[in-house]
Structure 1
Amino acid sequence: MGVIRRPAWWSVLLTVAGVLVFARLGVWQLHRADYKEELLRRYAAAASAPAQAFDAMAAQPPVDVYPRVRVQGHYLIDRVYLLDNPKHDSMGGVEVYVPFQPMHRDRLLLVDLGFLPGNGTDKPPQLPPLSSDVQTLQGVYQPAPGKGIELGGNALAQQAQWPKTSIYLDLDQIAADLHARLFSRVLVLDADPAAIYVRVHTLDLSSMPPARHRAYAYQWFTFAIAAVVIFLVLHRKRKRRLG
């Protein structure tokens, strides 16, 4: 004698559809986790890759590729931006960005100088002076950190003195602030033991790292199992009471 009573066709269809959808979403999340891990591997390899000419990558860098480039030009030393939301929050301090004018180019390149530790006060740390001479820079040409919703609107437009501080890095806002066009990516400088800046950079996947994708996959697979369990529980035969 079976323990499951014959279910209605619609309940079978609904359960099968739910299980397939949940399983498909779980598999998709696993694929996204693998994809993000591959991006991280590519980014890690870029730090030791040979430097390429910036002009070859400037306008249209390959998608999901992080080339290490060499570029010559000069800093706009009086236009400094401080990102007050870096990954080194436990140390206090800011990530420092400066626009850079590559030679023979009509756009500016935003350069990430690195993280500058705080001084124990609410005031920004003292910035070391920059040279206005022609510089040759090397680093990874990568997308800017993810931007979010900044309460109070465009913080840069509300500041009259330099350096300017923001909790998000928005290239469109910076371009408008500078009245200039910017390249679509930023240059993250190579590590330099002699520099005062901390340059331990990683690809910004904080909003959805591989581990979170796997956690969501586990959740979707759990939903699929739960759908089957609920179906069985609702359709199990009840023992008849002997009168």
Structure 2
Amino acid sequence: MKWLRRPSWFALLLTAAGALLFIRLGVWQLHRADEKEHILRRYAAAETAPPRDFAAVAEKPPVDAYARVKVQGAYIADKLYLLDNPRHDQRGGVEVYAPFRPHGGDRLLLVDLGFLPGNGTDESPQLPPLPAGEQALQGLYVPAPGVGFEMGGNALARQSRWPKTTVYLDLPQVAADLGAPLYPQVLALDQDTASIYVREHTIDFSAMPPARHRAYAFQWFTFAVVAVVVLLVLHRRRPTRPPDES
């Protein structure tokens, strides 16, 4: 190509390395988008699946699906945990969890009762009492909310009154607080129009939904193209000026 000067090996290697890195990052973002969409589809499918016996699922949880289960047992009275989580409502609110003792189980099951919107103040919402006696529950057996970066140590250990409030739901801390082992996942109850709780259990990808991963992928692919264009522009032959005949 007469219009292009031969670039140095260093320039070629630098451009190739940069372009390959950008392409690799773009492909990784596309894979993350596909993974999250697959998770959302599995979660949606589980909500309409027939419930399975909790004991069988707890013994061998599915590794590639969410299980909808049914379980019988009784709530442990007056032991509620409030997860300060305002993502459902602009006024804030709490996600309410209660320990449940399944029949024949060797551990306690933490039950996600649902979300209670705030009242516009710093006070916790008024909680209805837990139903007493034998209960039959249905819902999704899902991982607990992520712990994230916890500052200030174990907030539950510093509280002596119930319900206890936390900004992170750490199951080992809850188990230590109850003095009993817990199942490694929680039961997110099915929707109930008669319940005061809002039960819209979804995987929270609001911070990084699949569409944003694809936008980042397009950005990385654009950087790869720009790296090649910069190489070509910098090594473009400049037109020679005719000699001055004067």
TM class by smaller structure: over 0.9
What amino acid is the match of 1:139? G
1:111-190 matches, within 5 Å, as 111-190=111-190
Q: CA deviation at 1:241?
A: 4.7
SS in 1 for 2:16: helix
Q: Which residue of 2 aligns with 1:96?
A: 96
* Structure 1 partner of 2:63: 63
Q: Is the 8 A contact 2:70 2:139 kept in 1?
A: yes
Alignment correspondent of 2:108: 108
1:219 Cα deviation from its structure 2 partner: 2.1
Distance 2:199 2:9 in 1: 61
Determine the C-alpha separation between the residues in 2 that align with 1:176 and 1:222.
Answer: 51
The answer to whether structure 1 residue 85 and structure 2 residue 64 are counterparts is no
The answer on whether the counterparts of 1:146 and 1:204 sit within 8 Å (CA) in structure 2 is no
Instruction: Please tell me whether the aligned partners of residues 4 and 232 of structure 1 are also in contact (alpha carbons under 8 angstroms).
Output: yes
**Matched-pair contact (CA < 8 Å) for 1:81–1:165:** yes
| Matched-pair contact (CA < 8 Å) for 1:92–1:117 | yes
Deviations 1:29-64 (A, max 9, x none): 112201111110111111111000001111431123
Name whichever of 205-214 and 122-131 sits farther off: 205-214
Residue 5 in 1 paired to residue 43 in 2?
no
SS in 1 for 2:50: coil
Q: For each residue in 1:90-120, what CA deviation from the matched residue of structure 2 results, as whole angstroms up to 9, or x when unmatched?
A: 1422110011111111111110000112233
Match of 2:223 in 1: 223
Look up the SS of the partner of 1:57 in the other structure. helix
Pairwise CA RMSD: 1.7
Q: In the TM superposition, what is the alpha-carbon distance from 1:200 to its structure 2 partner?
A: 1.2
- Once residues 157 and 211 of structure 1 are traced to their aligned partners in structure 2, the CA distance between those partners, rounded to angstroms, is 40
Deviation at 1:8, TM superposition (A): 1.1
Residues of 2 paired with 1:49 and 1:86: CA distance? 29
TM-score (norm 1): 0.93
Q: Which amino acid aligns with 1:9?
A: W
Distance (Å, rounded) in 2 between the aligned partners of 1:109 and 1:86: 24
CA offsets 1:52-85 (integer angstroms, 9 cap, x no match): 0001111431123111000111111211000111
Deviation at 1:174, TM superposition (A): 1.1
Q: Distance in 2 between matches of 1:16 and 1:150?
A: 42
| Residue type of the alignment partner of 2:40 | L
From the superposition, tell whether residues 91 and 48 of structure 1 become closer, same or farther in structure 2 (CA, over 3 Å): farther
Distance apart, 1:204 and its partner CA: 2.7
C-alpha distance in 1 between matches for 2:206 and 2:153:
23
Partner of 1:72: 72
Alpha-carbon distance in 2 for matches of 1:222, 1:109: 49
1:207 to partner: Cα distance? 4.6
The one-letter amino acid of 1:4's match is: L
Q: Which moved more, 1:188-197 or 1:167-176?
A: 167-176
Residue segments in structure 1 that go unaligned for 5+ positions in a row: none
Q: Contact conserved, 1:59 with 1:183, CA < 8 A, in 2?
A: no
The alignment partner of 1:72 has SS state of strand
**Once the two structures are aligned, what percentage of the paired residues are identical?**
67
* Cα deviation, residue 215, structure 1: 2.3
- The 3-state SS of whatever aligns with 2:186 is strand
Contact 1:145–1:204, Cα closer than 8 Å, also in 2: no
Inter-partner Cα distance in structure 1 for 2:197 and 2:103: 25
Q: Which runs of 5+ in 2 are unaligned?
A: none
